[in-house]
Amino acid sequence: VKTMGGRRWSVFDAELRAENERRQTLEAELRRAIPAGEIEPWFQPVVDAGEGRIVGVEVLARWRHPEQGLLGPACFVPMAEELGLIRRIDEAVFEAACARAAPWVAEGLIELVSCNVSPRDLLDPAFSRKLIQRLAGTDLPATALTVEITETFLLQDLALSRRHIERLAAKGVHIALDDFGTGYSNLRALMNLPIQTVKLDRSLISDVGRDARVSKLVGSMMHAARAMGVSIVAEGVEDEAQALFLRAAGCDRMQGYLFAKPMPADEMEARLREDLAA
């Protein structure tokens, strides 16, 4: 270590200090941004695989940063999880999203609103009770809400997951298993929990219809899910070849740039009305 010399170490120190400062600034800004309402819900359409009709939306968080512009979740969700701020973000996004999307459901423009929750949120024993309470304060019917959870969470504490999932399911809230096909896929969890939907991960979809082995794998995963009575959403569908394969393999719903990118609420609303008029 000594052989590296003092100069190199001081450069390293300076870099480390700069990185630390950057993080601290971002942390302070994030703490300010939440109550300031800078974290907003964007919406990506979920379409019916058969007709391509928009049947729902997934809510995706964006940070409208005053200087840096629009930031995606990759820039702030991991840090918010580390700092214990993710719950407040998810609550804020959920409330704002419900306020915008409840009228779309009431008017029959869409049927489903899908929200992401962090595995962190779900470790709170009061999570499902609080969510049900918050939901009751909105105009969104419980049966129109889907909560997207990941396997990471199921593996962390199965007893607690079960309690939350069953409590939500009893109210009519749908549960979707997100990022399905990454990690160690939990067919067991699907059998034992009231999960209605799996979302096939984008990493699998990208090679579907092109790579025969991936297509086979995805096909058999879909087969297994269907055998358990679970509906299948493919995410990250970017081209016709993928959509063609997925449709033929019996996918129920699709989501991806082929149909639409995530967009702000006003744009989403305009698009839904346009589609209705068409």
Residues forming contacts to ligand C2E in the complex (CB under 6 A) are 44, 60-61, 72-74, 77, 86, 90, 93, 116-118, 178-179, 202, 235-238, 255-257, 262
- 262 makes contact, choosing from Ca ion, ligand C2E, none, with CB < 5 to 8 Å by partner type, with ligand C2E
Rounded Cα distance between 111 and 56, Å, is 6
Token pair 């973000």 is at which residue?
A: 89
Q: Is 40 in the site for Ca ion (CB under 5 A)?
A: no
Q: Is 90 in the site for Ca ion (CB under 5 A)?
A: no
If the CB atoms of residues 116 and 197 are measured against Ca ion, the closer one turns out to be: 116
If the CB atoms of residues 135 and 149 are measured against Ca ion, the closer one turns out to be: 149
Rounded Cα distance between 113 and 43, Å, is 9
| CB 219, min distance to ligand C2E, A | 20
Report the Cα 122 to chain-centroid distance in Å: 14
Rounded Cα distance between 79 and 188, Å, is 31
Rounded Cα distance between 241 and 68, Å, is 36
Q: Which stretch binds Ca ion (CB under 5 A): 45-53, 64-72, 147-155, 162-170?
A: 147-155
Token output for 188:
């067991």
| CB 102, min distance to Ca ion, A | 20
Q: Which stretch binds Ca ion (CB under 5 A): 47-55, 114-122, 152-160, 161-169?
A: 114-122
Q: Considering only residues 40, 90, 148, 252, which one is a binding residue for Ca ion as defined by CB under 5 A?
A: 148
Q: Is 178 in the site for Ca ion (CB under 5 A)?
A: yes
**97: alpha, beta or left? (left if phi > 0; alpha if psi -120 to 50):** alpha
Rounded Cα distance between 149 and 152, Å, is 8
- 246 makes contact, choosing from ligand C2E, Ca ion, none, with CB < 5 to 8 Å by partner type, with none
If the CB atoms of residues 151 and 179 are measured against ligand C2E, the closer one turns out to be: 179
| CB 258, min distance to Ca ion, A | 16
If the CB atoms of residues 56 and 236 are measured against ligand C2E, the closer one turns out to be: 236
**DSSP-derived secondary structure for 23-37:** HHHHHHHHHHHTTTT
Q: Is 151 in the site for Ca ion (CB under 5 A)?
A: no
* 65 close to 33: Cβ distance less than 8 angstroms: yes
Rounded Cα distance between 129 and 112, Å, is 21
Strand partners, 174: 146
Interface with Ca ion (CB under 5 A): 116, 148, 178-179
